[in-house]
Structure 1
Amino acid sequence: MMMHRNTHSLTRWIAMLALLASVAHLPSTATASDAFTIFMIGDSTMADKPLIPENPERGWGQLLTLYFNPNVTIDNHATNGRSSKSFRSEGRWDGVLQRIQPGDYVIIQFGHNDEKSDQARHTDPFGSYTANLRRYAKEASELGAIPILATPVVRRVFDDKGVLQPTHGEYPEAVRKLASEIDVPLLDMTLRSRELLERLGKTRSEQLFIWTIPGEYDRFPEGNSDNTHFNALGATRMCDLAVAEIQAKVPELAAHLKSSR
């Protein structure tokens, strides 16, 4: 597989932008009456990643604060390896519930680890997975927050003919049906990310993921070939897709995005 050395400088430049996202867990300094928080719960594809020591990995939620006006605080609780089941069982959701205020938003994106076979994380798409998401949405709503469901982003798995393969089974469809049933906004990240990877194709899409050459990063001395987790460029593109979905599906939230004018 050809390594894309010519994209490394671009990726590092985008990584500098991600430094600004490190303030995501700090209290908002906005004093306007319209100040609110967007909470995020999910897995590694959304999570904040450490920047020091040098680390190529980013989650798309790590970039979201760059898109919103100062009255919006992004509080990203997404964590590597968690499913809709284990995020709650470990008490992580309890911490979010204690902080939610009326008028806040909660973006909920699970699926990657719900597919795992271990008892601590596995859920059934139209069974416990749907029940877990429904409960998250209900509890957020009871506190006056607006829940937003998101389907999982795709993995970069192409067959020998260059056709992108689905790897999430029925989980995305379960989220879509639940969002329609309980009438909450849906960010279809599965659809959006699939369309992006299909446009880029097997070779160019590699530039979005953590493919590194030996010696490029101390944490990957032998190099790395990861088709699930994003580098800074990939996380930025996934965040672009999430913002496009917000603009299409949640106009009242989109009103707080930074204007290009």
Structure 2
Amino acid sequence: MKLGGALAMVLAMLATGASDPQPRIFIASDSTAQDYKPEKYPQSGWGTMLRCAVPGVTVENRAIGGRSTNSFIREGRLDGIAKDLRKGDTLLIQFGHNDASIDKPERYTTIDQYKANLLRFLDVAKAAGAKAVILTPVARRDFKDGVEQPSFPTYADAAREVARSTRTPLIDLGKASQAWVQAAGPDAAKAYYLHYEGAAGAPGYPNGVSDDTHFSELGARRVADLVAVGLKATRLPIAKRITPHVPALTRTTPAGGPSCG
């Protein structure tokens, strides 16, 4: 009788495991989040570094540079996510930088289109039984008279509106990162973006670079920590797997790559 009870328990556990696979995090975004090859170092994406906050959780980083909601959908990338997404997964959606590129018609997205596109992302998550989280566009380094300016505010407002109307969890990464950059100040904040002289030894930029949009290794780590804090604050199942402020995300010196050690 005891053996039969134990066997029943094991079978129940196996059944539960089969129907409840390990959760994954999918990221749909642009160059601010994407994974980079070593030769592009120190350019780094927050999606890469987010892995340090979720040990044991697979992060499917589908972010890719130059994409807006329009081009991401048009190229079939959302369809790819729809094919792979499953119940228990979490889909992080962060766009806006390229949607605002009115001079690049292949990227440009009107506010109404942007809202409609976000709804398409949410529909994909719902159809798969996954949970979606909307993120407002992460901040650029953009100071005026010592004050960090909001980045892509009309798109950020649109993202907030869609999240509110659909009751989708929102990580207001725009506001959080704006406050973070402001706290650092105009000069210190350069260390979080791509500001290197030619002799600085940055493999991806032998002639130097001055870029206030894309992140250095340290910048990507800090932004990943902001995302981790936001995820932890949600009531989603994945929140239990998130550990913000791990040393890998708060370090003050570069590791030379995406190490979580």
Query: Which of 200, 225, 238 is equivalent to 2:210?
Result: 225
Query: Which of 129, 143, 160 is equivalent to 1:158?
Result: 143
C-alpha displacement of 1:163: 1.4
C-alpha displacement of 1:169: 3.1
Q: Deviations over 1:109-153 (max 9, x none)?
A: 00000000222111122x000000011101211111111100010
> Which residue does the alignment assign to 1:69?
55
2:41 maps to 1:49: no
> Which residue does the alignment assign to 1:93?
78
Q: Could you tell which deviates more after superposition, 241-250 or 192-201?
A: 241-250
Q: Which amino acid aligns with 2:195?
A: W
> Which residue does the alignment assign to 2:183?
199
Q: List runs of 5+ in structure 1 lacking aligned partners.
A: 1-30
SS at match of 2:25: strand
Aligned equivalents of 1:258 and 1:240: distance in 2? 9
> Which residue does the alignment assign to 2:251?
none
2:168 maps to 1:181: no
Q: Deviations over 1:205-227 (max 9, x none)?
A: 11101111113234323211110
Report how many residues are paired.
226
2:65 maps to 1:80: yes
C-alpha displacement of 1:102: 1.0
SS at match of 2:185: helix
RMSD: 1.7
8 Å Cα contact 2:134/2:168 also seen in 1? yes
Moved over 4 A (4+): 31-34
Tell me the TM-score normalised to structure 2 length. 0.82
The change in CA–CA distance for 1:63 and 1:87 in structure 2 (over 3 A counts) is same
SS at match of 2:241: coil
SS at match of 2:27: strand
> Which residue does the alignment assign to 2:238?
253
Aligned equivalents of 2:114 and 2:73: distance in 1? 12
Q: Deviations over 1:86-119 (max 9, x none)?
A: 0010111111111111111100000000000222
Aligned equivalents of 1:133 and 1:227: distance in 2? 26
C-alpha displacement of 1:54: 5.7
> Which residue does the alignment assign to 1:20?
none
SS at match of 1:107: strand
Q: List runs of 5+ in structure 2 lacking aligned partners.
A: 1-16, 247-261
Aligned equivalents of 1:218 and 1:62: distance in 2? 18
The change in CA–CA distance for 1:219 and 1:253 in structure 2 (over 3 A counts) is closer
Q: Which amino acid aligns with 2:180?
A: L
SS at match of 1:202: coil
Aligned equivalents of 2:242 and 2:153: distance in 1? 33
8 Å Cα contact 2:132/2:169 also seen in 1? yes
C-alpha displacement of 1:34: 5.1
